[in-house]
Chain A
């Protein structure tokens, strides 16, 4: 609980100060980001302990980057549903380096349908984005119970590999020059 409280306090301070909205001087905003980062790391540690394993969180998934998955060819992905109701037919994306041979095995040990998609070049060129992920493995989660989770194993085994996206069509716009 002490570890969780670090994030709780940081969020309370930031809500009180109307933080992360551009209405503060840059050095103050930098301090908000620092407090938030410390709180998130602390909370991640608590969640990792709760799950009883060597768990890692990736905070750059919003720019399709994750140093953990980019450096492995066999790993587990835990998908947790924070809603109190069941969700069905939702999709998960994980950035990876190579596009070949990715297989996704679901919680019941059965290979699930997956697809490897290309990350747009413009995303890979975002200033400050680290890592070399050029693809994402996408798969469908049929069902997650309320406050429940499912663990998926991703491996670049080559057997039962998922599908790769096919370039169907391309074209320059009229303004191409």
Chain B
């Protein structure tokens, strides 16, 4: 039940709670940040789209039912079902099972400064007729003054401020969705006072936000039961093999200083232009093999 850590040769350490099995801290180069990570869901708004207030959450519109969730998402579980820690010289990983439809591997590689989170979500249960939009949230103790940064198509990083627009007086109608932005490659929290930053890079474009200071959330999966009346005529309720879809993907978390760009820019390039792997049989008698080698 005691807390445990995984670490590597470049001073990256991730601390886990032995009680819950969840991530609770990260440290690198002498900097330490409290980091809670878990999975949550928003209930998708249902409706017939006859009025603004009856507009359903769907493919085009992210619209959580804030009246039923008090504008906060529901935690899928506060204590994971089980965890296993596998260690070797090259990498150490923690396999976490949250529920029968959410699991994750947290990895630390030798010589690398980022923590890899590989999540697996689905099929999302909707048997109670409630559509669900699944997010993961990284919560830290960073003082971020309602601001965070997201990228614009992987290029310029733009500063976003909660419940604020730089060029007009913003009236909050959608407390959650109104603060969601496209996250094509990364979302960043910066604590200017203490000179600490946390960068989360993703492997695909996702929606993301920082709903509270020191927090980052990214949407992983959506399964909704109503059409949002923007022309598709079908709910975003994809299925395969008689069940909802399963998604698997990765986030990379970097703990940086005042200027984290030297860490996240090269990594983002490597993620976007990832190595291409191909295979060929090896046969001693095949003349092409020595040539390839």
- The answer to whether B85 has its CB under 8 Å from any CB of chain A is yes
A79 to chain B, nearest CB (A): 5
The interface residues of chain B lying within 8 Å CB-to-CB of A155 are 282
The answer for the CA separation of A59 and B240 in the assembled complex, in Å, is: 18
What are the interface flags for B266-293 relative to A under an 8 Å C-beta threshold, 1 for contact and 0 otherwise? 0001100111111111100000110111
- The answer to whether B93 has its CB under 8 Å from any CB of chain A is yes
- The answer to whether A5 has its CB under 8 Å from any CB of chain B is no
The interface residues of chain B lying within 8 Å CB-to-CB of A115 are 88-91
Asked if A175 and B277 make an inter-chain contact with CB atoms under 8 angstroms apart, the answer reads no
B182 to chain A, nearest CB (A): 12
Task: Report, nearest first, the 4 A-B pairs whose CB atoms are least far apart.
Answer: A175-B79, A174-B79, A22-B59, A165-B86
- The answer to whether A158 has its CB under 8 Å from any CB of chain B is no
The residue on B at minimum CB distance from A122 is B103
Task: Say which residue of A23, A54, A72 sits within 8 Å of B288 (CB atoms).
Answer: A54
Q: Which residues of B are in contact with A by a Cβ distance under 8 Å? A: 1, 4, 18-21, 59-60, 77-93, 95, 97, 103, 105, 109-112, 120, 123, 222, 230, 232-234, 236, 238, 240-243, 246, 248, 269-270, 273-282, 288-289, 291-293
Known: A89-B112, A171-B82, A174-B79. A127 touches B243 (CB 8 A): yes
- Which one of A113, A167, A174 has the highest number of Cβ atoms from chain B below 10 Å of its Cβ? A174
The residue on B at minimum CB distance from A155 is B282
The answer for the CA separation of A153 and B281 in the assembled complex, in Å, is: 9
The residue on B at minimum CB distance from A23 is B59
B108 to chain A, nearest CB (A): 11
Give the secondary structure class of A's interface: mixed
What are the interface flags for A112-130 relative to B under an 8 Å C-beta threshold, 1 for contact and 0 otherwise? 0111011010110011100
A42 to chain B, nearest CB (A): 15
A100 to chain B, nearest CB (A): 15
Asked if B282 and A75 make an inter-chain contact with CB atoms under 8 angstroms apart, the answer reads yes
Could you tell me which residues of chain A, from 134 to 177, have a CB within 8 Å of some CB in chain B? 138-141, 144, 151, 153, 155, 163-176
- The answer to whether A8 has its CB under 8 Å from any CB of chain B is no
| Count of A interface residues, CB-CB < 8 Å | 77
Could you tell me which residues of chain A, from 65 to 95, have a CB within 8 Å of some CB in chain B? 66, 68-69, 72, 74-83, 85, 87, 89-92, 94
- The answer to whether A51 has its CB under 8 Å from any CB of chain B is yes
B207 to chain A, nearest CB (A): 12
The answer for the CA separation of A53 and B288 in the assembled complex, in Å, is: 7
The interface residues of chain B lying within 8 Å CB-to-CB of A68 are 279
The residue on A at minimum CB distance from B21 is A173
Known: A22-B238, A138-B91. A55 touches B79 (CB 8 A): no
The answer for the CA separation of A80 and B274 in the assembled complex, in Å, is: 9
Asked if B59 and A77 make an inter-chain contact with CB atoms under 8 angstroms apart, the answer reads no
Asked if A75 and B279 make an inter-chain contact with CB atoms under 8 angstroms apart, the answer reads yes
The answer for the CA separation of A133 and B238 in the assembled complex, in Å, is: 26
The residue on B at minimum CB distance from A84 is B273
